[in-house]
Structure 1
Amino acid sequence: MTVSKEVIETILDRILLAPVKLYALMVSQRPNHTLIEVELDHLGHPYGSVSLLECEQVSRKLNEELERISPDLNYTLKVSSAGAERKLVIPEDLDRFRGIPVRLVYKLEGSNDKEGIFKILDRKEDRIFLEPFSKRKTKGSKKKEVILELKDILKGNLYVSI
């Protein structure tokens, strides 16, 4: 017996309570086994991190629903947070994670892809205003602002500095 990704999404829509929402869902069907991987996002947390308790609650409720609708299903369920260095959904996350360091891969006209770590200062329409990020504190020196066009950002993820 199998269960579709759409059925699992419908169940998650019912059991997830704001500010926790679905970030990603992967369902891998194998001949006699299904792997279900759920990644959660917390809209109220600065980095979107979901607690272990929240993951446990979603896992328990999803297990109960799967057992109810498909008692013969042989599956493994993994529920986790999307992670502190998650992939960014562009452009939405550029507004959401303003002020937080991000690693961006971008292109500039006539050059190869570039990569940098920046703090998001602002976004106005299709322009992103960034400040280069450094772990070292520099006294008195103002960092040069970088402005990128939204179309030039190839990918990005949150960056956690230690």
Structure 2
Amino acid sequence: MTVSKETIDSILESILHAPVKLYALMVSQRPNHTLIEVELDHLEHPYGSVSLLECEQVSRKLNEELERISPDLNYTLKVSSAGAERKLELPGDLDRFRGIPVRLVYRVEGERGEKEGIFKILDRQGDRLVLEPFSKRKKGSGKKREAFLELKDILKGNLYVSI
């Protein structure tokens, strides 16, 4: 017996309540087994991290619903946080994670190839980002350096956690 991704998505919709939301859902069907991977996002946490307790609650409720609608289903369920270095959903996450270091892959007009950098997002002015190149070194009393990047030039990004 199998269960569709749409069915699981519908169950999750009824289980999840703000500020926790679905970040990603992957369902891998094999002939005798289904792997269900759920990644959660916390809209009020600075990095979007979901607690272990929240993961456990979603896992328990989803298990209960799957057992109810499909008792013969052979499956493995993994529920986790989207992760501290999650992929950014562009352009929306650029506003959400303002002030937090992000790794951006971008192109520079007139140059070949891609560039990569770590920045703090200072502001968004329409289709233009105001960035500060990120450094792990202690800040001096010097003036902040600013960089500008057009949204259309950003290819991908993810949160960056410095250690």
In the superposition, the TM-score normalised over structure 2's length comes to: 0.98
The code of the aligned residue for 1:103 comes to R
Q: Give the corresponding residue for 2:98.
A: 98
Give aligned pairs, total: 162
* 1:142 Cα deviation from its structure 2 partner: 1.8
| Gap regions ≥5 residues in structure 1 | none
Match of 1:157 in 2: 158
- CA distance in 2 between counterparts of 1:107 and 1:144 reads 20
| 1:81 equivalent in structure 2 | 81
Q: Which amino acid aligns with 1:128?
A: L
Q: Where in structure 2 are there 5+ consecutive unaligned residues?
A: none
Give the drift of 1:17. Answer: 1.4
Provide the rounded CA distance (Å) in 1 between the counterparts of 2:127 and 2:139: 30
Structure 1 moving runs of 4+ over 4 Å: none
The CA distance in 2 between the partners of 1:28 and 1:18, in whole Å, is 27
Q: Report what 1:63 is aligned to.
A: 63
Paired position in structure 1 for 2:134 = 133
* CA–CA separation in structure 2 for the residues paired with 1:16 and 1:48: 15
CA shift digits 1:73-129 (9 cap, x unpaired): 000000000000000000000000000000000000122210000000011111011
TM-score normalised over the length of structure 1: 0.98
Q: Which moved more, 1:73-82 or 1:142-151?
A: 142-151
Query: What is the 5 A alignment of 1:1-150?
Result: 1-111=1-111, 112-150=113-151
Report the AA paired with residue 131 of structure 2.
Answer: L
Distance 2:35 2:143 in 1: 50
Secondary structure of the structure 2 residue equivalent to 1:63: helix
Structure 2 Cα separation of the partners of residues 96 and 139 of structure 1 = 27
Aligned residue type for 1:76: T
Q: What secondary structure is seen at the aligned counterpart in 2 of 1:44? A: coil
